[in-house]
DNA sequence: GCACCAAATGCTACAATGTTGCAAGACGAC
DNA sequence: GTCGTCTTGCAACATTGTAGCATTTGGTGC
């Protein structure tokens, strides 16, 4: 479940390398993202911070995440609901699709499924990045019976 | 770029065919979506309603759009910001990708670019639909110079 | 170890988007 | 035209995210 290839210690180095101050919030949030196998919402991160005994408020968390995204340490993805989700960036060049369970709202990463390259774009348009999100039901919610449903 | 195959008059029939009452709000909203070449946000639809002299309030518009989506007459897409955007469904089987301009927030449809089929999914997962959103800058905002930017 | 300063944080207030409950009004069948 | 039910409009609230500002803290120089 944890990504053993990236020891938690590197979080401190990665933060310092960007010229940012190594604060407990940044440290814990980045370690959390690095250890999570799926993108986390603000709520989930906030709960984890509370569980870890790190004092924080909503605004600080927003700013911490903004900073991580700005520094290229985390990525922001649209979770389907109107809340963002965040994941650690392991390899800036590597991108992958996401699966959003319409039942439980959970988002999982789909390694090995890269968004298709852009083709057929009107002239003048410049593509920065592509986001591919599959919607349906995850294994835990499994509802094959409602397959035909259109949304 | 308008879909001449579906004259505005059919909006009334499509609503009635679903067993719903034909109200001015539903009629105007559906016609608006059918005539628009790109997905519209609540705000844009609300402004158009006001311009058309149709009384309405925010909640009614939300419910009207919910109803249209529920009936398969409209589709809801995540616009990048935390607000939904809506587009008319012309052909339930036909899907296309969208382009979101990170500058002006505008969303345009990319006909001819279907989301890639789902592969490499964990077992037990069931895909209902795929959403492919390209991010970048549209022709009007054209900012080729900031191409390397990571978000 | 101590002082200092810019960077982070925490707090309050606010904005935007969306939802719920309920009474009043309008559509459509008769 | 009457009537029942579906829609609407209103008010209040929930969630997600931002802005301004005083306070605290990390990190640097001494």
Within chain A, which residue ranges are assigned CATH 1.10.10.10?
1-89
B59 touches strand D (CB under 7 A): yes
Q: Which residue's CA lies closest to nucleotide C20 at its C1' atom?
A: B59
CATH fold of B1-90: Arc Repressor Mutant, subunit A (1.10.10)
Coil vs helix vs strand at A85: strand
Percent of chain A at pLDDT > 70 equals 81
Check the CA dihedral B115-B120-B122-B126 and report its sign.
Answer: positive
In the structure encoding, which two tokens stand for residue B108, read together? 């345009």
* B47 pLDDT higher than 80: yes
Give me the CATH code for the A1-89 domain, please: 1.10.10.10
pLDDT in the model for residue B80: 67
* A143 pLDDT higher than 70: no
* Residue A30 buriedness (CB in 10 A; 0-12 / 13-18 / 19+): buried
CB contact residues (below 8 A), chain B span 84-113, against chain A:
84, 92, 99, 102, 108, 110-113
- Answer yes or no: do A138 and B124 touch at CB < 8 A: yes
Residue B17 CA, nucleotide C21 C1', distance (Å): 29
CA distances, A10 to each of A63, A83, A87, B67 (Å): 21, 28, 16, 50
* B140 pLDDT higher than 50: yes
Q: Which residues of A95-122 are buried (b: 16+ CB within 10 A; e: fewer)?
A: eebbbbbbeeebbbbbeebebbebeebe
Contacts of B39 (CB under 8 A, 6+ apart): B77, B79, B85, B86, B87, B98, B107, B109
Pick from A125, A133, A139: CB nearest B125: A139
Task: Say which residue the tokens 């986390």 belong to.
Answer: A40
**Among B77, B81, B116, B117, residue whose Cα is nearest residue B98:** B77
A95-151 placed in CATH 3.40.1130: no
Within chain A, which residue ranges are assigned CATH 3.30.1490?
95-151
Within chain B, which residue ranges are assigned CATH 1.10.10.10?
1-90
**Among A4, A60, A5, residue whose Cα is nearest residue A29:** A60
pLDDT in the model for residue B30: 95
Å from A64 to nearest chain B CA? 15
User: How does pLDDT run across A36-67, given as a tens digit for each residue?
Assistant: 989 999 999 999 998 888 878 999 999 999 99
**Among A101, A22, A110, A103, residue whose Cα is nearest residue A64:** A22
Pick from A75, A113, A149: CB nearest B120: A113
Helix (H) or strand (E) holding B131: strand B126-137
Nucleotide nearest to B105 (CA to C1'): C16
Contacts of B17 (CB under 8 A, 6+ apart): none
Nucleotide nearest to A42 (CA to C1'): D16
């Amino acid at each position: 479940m944890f990504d053993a290839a990236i020891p938690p210690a590197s979080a401190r180095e990665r933060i310092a390398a960007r010229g940012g101050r190594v604060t407990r919030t940044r440290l814990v949030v980045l370690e959390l993202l690095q250890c999570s196998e799926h993108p986390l919402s603000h709520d989930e991160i906030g709960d984890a911070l509370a569980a870890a005994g790190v004092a924080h408020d909503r605004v600080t968390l927003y700013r911490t995440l903004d900073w991580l995204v700005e520094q290229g340490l985390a990525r922001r993805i649209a979770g389907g609901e109107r809340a963002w989700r965040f994941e650690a960036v392991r390899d800036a060049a590597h991108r992958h699709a996401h699966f959003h369970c319409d039942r439980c709202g959970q988002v999982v990463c789909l390694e090995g499924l890269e968004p298709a390259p852009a083709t057929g774009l009107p002239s003048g348009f410049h593509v920065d990045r592509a986001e591919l999100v599959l919607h349906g039901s995850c294994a835990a919610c499994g509802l094959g019976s409602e397959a035909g449903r259109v949304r």
